[in-house]
Amino acid sequence: MPKSFFIDTSRCTACRGCQIACKEWYELPANKTKQTGTHQNPPDLNPFNYKLVRFNEHLEDGVVRWNFSPDQCRHCIDPPCVYVGADIMEGALIHDEKTGAVVYTEKTEKISEADFEQIRSSCPYDIPRRDPKTGRISKCTMCYERVSQGLKPVCVAVCPTGTMNFGERADMLAMAEKRLNEAKKDYPKAMLADAESVSVIYLLIDDPRYYHPYSVAQQGFGLDRKMFLSRLGRPFRKTLNLFADV
């Protein structure tokens, strides 16, 4: 049975336990960061941060809306990166049908920077990052090894608020629907982000643009989704950026 995450952002306090635990579990090198006027640090996903809690704030009728979203790979049901990757190097980007995990292997080290850019721009959520030293492309692995041993992903295991949930897809969808109905009472704009096409379902309680530009996939123009996401390559990213601020 495929697995899914359910990320209930209405419960997130931005403690960043998930972000730090992910780095610890994978023993990823620390980044040397600076304070730049935001709590979001490191400023973006990077080859050593598979997970990043994003901060966004605005005033709505005099009330502060401070939205947190723990950003990570969505492990798409039809992963465009894997379609693009299959043309570039077989076995580098894998979609595990059993768990639904999208996993990047060490073979990605042999992928050129230009080909990586194509993979990155195929991602509707701008997730893959490349280590310029080794060439390795990395992102969230759905804690594939932990899950195959019956454990939960480490970000879910450490979450103290119930924001991060993981389990059978059917259970997670049911949980998401239940929480959506509850959240709608207080937050009329509450929605599930792309629930039918990803394995990482976010409950957002505000307009998606008040999270970050890639909080929901930007798609449209009546094209077949798979074609649109996987074949447009670089121009797709430009299209995304055009719509990011709308």
Binding site for another protein (CB under 8 A): 14-16, 19-20, 23-24, 30-39, 41-42, 57-59, 64, 66
Task: Fill in the DSSP letter of residue 82.
Answer: H
| CB distance 99 to 199 below 8 Å | no
In terms of CB distance, is 66 or 243 closer to another protein?
Answer: 66
CB 61 to another protein: min, Å: 12
In terms of CB distance, is 34 or 98 closer to another protein?
Answer: 34
3-class SS letters over 34-81 = CCCCCCCCCCCCECCECCEEEEEEEEECCEEEEEEEEECCCCECCCHH
Q: Which residues contact 62 (CB under 8 A, 6 or more apart)?
A: none
Instruction: For 29-56, give one letter per residue: b (16+ CB within 10 A) or e.
Output: eeeeeeeeeeebbeeebebbbbbbbbbb
Q: Which residues contact 145 (CB under 8 A, 6 or more apart)?
A: none
In terms of CB distance, is 64 or 246 closer to another protein?
Answer: 64
C-alpha to C-alpha distance for 32 and 35, rounded to whole angstroms: 10
In terms of CB distance, is 39 or 234 closer to another protein?
Answer: 39
CB 213 to another protein: min, Å: 19
In terms of CB distance, is 59 or 114 closer to another protein?
Answer: 59
CB 38 to another protein: min, Å: 7
CB 36 to another protein: min, Å: 5
In terms of CB distance, is 57 or 145 closer to another protein?
Answer: 57
CB 238 to another protein: min, Å: 27
| CB distance 140 to 127 below 8 Å | yes
Report in angstroms the alpha-carbon separations of 106 from 91, 120, 136, 160, 171.
9, 17, 7, 33, 32
CB 194 to another protein: min, Å: 28
